Amino acid sequence: MTKTCDPQSTYLGSDGSKGSNRNVFGQTVAKIMSGMSDEQKKNVLCIDSDLEGSVGFKHIRAAHPEMYLKSGIMERGNFSACAGFGMKKGRQGIFATFAAFLEMCTSEITMARLNRSNVLCHFSHSGCDDMADNTCHFGLNNLFADNGLEDHYETKLYFPCDANQMDKVVRRVFFDHGMRFVFSIRSKLPLILNDQGTPFYGDGYKFVPGKDELIRDGKDGFVVSFGDAIYRSLDAVERLKKDKGLSVGLVNKPTLNVVDEDMMKKIGSAKFVLIVEPLSRRTGLGSKFGTWLLERGLSPKFARIGVHREGCGGLWEQAYHQGYDSKSIQKKILELA
């Protein structure tokens, strides 16, 4: 079979350099641990499900083997062990596996939440981008992690859009209490640029949990996105501005399960809102966002693009196959506008 690559080589609004979010997770955790005292290190435990090279845990093992436990391929048991360790105040269990396996852990996640456990979870290979193992490996139902009652221990779902943001997210939420889920994709991601052409998530950026981020402002409508769908959506809105004169805004929603009231009011007052995501159209952000709008009396034109088809094989083809590539996003925006 002839190896092929993404036919779109240039994406407007993003840097040519790329970073691996799944590796940055482990690298950042290792750096945080390096700043701890010996006594503090006793309160952190990373448990590996034989995936250290795929989820970034290899960086933790190499730097801090005393805080790392290599276990077998038994995600449910390993997650429960992390949650058990994290039940004591001040302790952090750190767990990682592929996002496709999140669904098998939902009952354990519920019990961890009921027991007020502190667990920082990294689910890599989320979505479908660059996935070589086809539909069986798609990590599409990430929002299943937020399956608890609203008055229980706090749960946050984070999906950074480039390597710089991943670093900032992990640094900000590492010492938080409760259940924290950080998602990454398989492929490397280009760095997102602001409208001055410098990194949006550079040195001056501070991550605030629960806050949506305005990548580009617009007058004609808004795209709301996250993860690898951000750089594709940014290319789409930039090209429509350049070629069609459309002023379409782009909002990054790095905290998937929290409503940012200020941003909701802003985008809900626009002509249209389009959700573009690498998760399932049945269970992803788009399945909830329309309800959030209506609950607040907001009624823009609303549409959503998400994963809805079995995989067709290959790597880069997946986003095109699901219709969240730049051209497909542009087409949907033109229909709404």
| Residue 59 φ then ψ, to 5° | -70, -35
- Residue-level pLDDT at 153: 74
Q: CA angle at residue 192 from 128 to 214, to 5 degrees?
A: 100
Question: Which amino acid is residue 310, in one-letter code?
Answer: E
What backbone torsions phi and psi does residue 86 show, to the nearest 5 degrees? -85, 5
- Which phi and psi (to 5°) does residue 47 adopt? -115, 125
> Range(s) for CATH 3.40.50.970 in the chain?
19-189
In this prediction, residues 206-229 reach a mean pLDDT of: 98
Q: 19-189: what CATH class? A: alpha beta
pLDDT at 152: 66
The CA distance from 238 to 217, in Å, is 11
Whether the Cβ atoms of residue 148 and residue 178 lie closer than 8 Å to each other:
no
Output the pLDDT for position 1.
45
Which residue, chain included where needed, has tokens 């959030």? Answer: 292
For 194-217, how does the pLDDT look when each residue is reduced to its tens digit (9 = 90+)? 999 999 999 999 999 999 999 999
- The mean predicted confidence, pLDDT, of the chain is 94
> What distance in Å separates the CA atoms of residue 64 and residue 315, rounded to the nearest whole number?
33
Which part of the chain is CATH 3.40.50.920? 210-336
- C-alpha dist (Å) from residue 320 to 7, 46, 258, 331: 10, 36, 29, 13
Do 296 and 209 meet the contact criterion of CB atoms below 8 Å apart? no
Percent of the chain's residues with pLDDT above 70? 99
Distance, in Å, from the CA atom of 168 to the CA atom of 268, rounded to the nearest integer, reads 28
Region 175-198 average pLDDT = 96
> At a CB cut-off of 8 Å and minimum separation 6, what does 325 contact?
8, 232, 319
Radius of gyration of the chain (CA): 19
- The maximal CA–CA distance of the chain, rounded, in angstroms, is 60
Instruction: Find the helix or strand (DSSP H, E) in which 47 lies.
Output: strand 44-48
Q: What is the pLDDT of residues 68-100, one digit of tens each?
A: 988 988 899 999 999 999 999 999 999 999 999
pTM, two decimal places? 0.96
In CATH, the number for domain 210-336 is 3.40.50.920
Do 194 and 14 contact (CB within 8 A), yes or no?
Answer: no
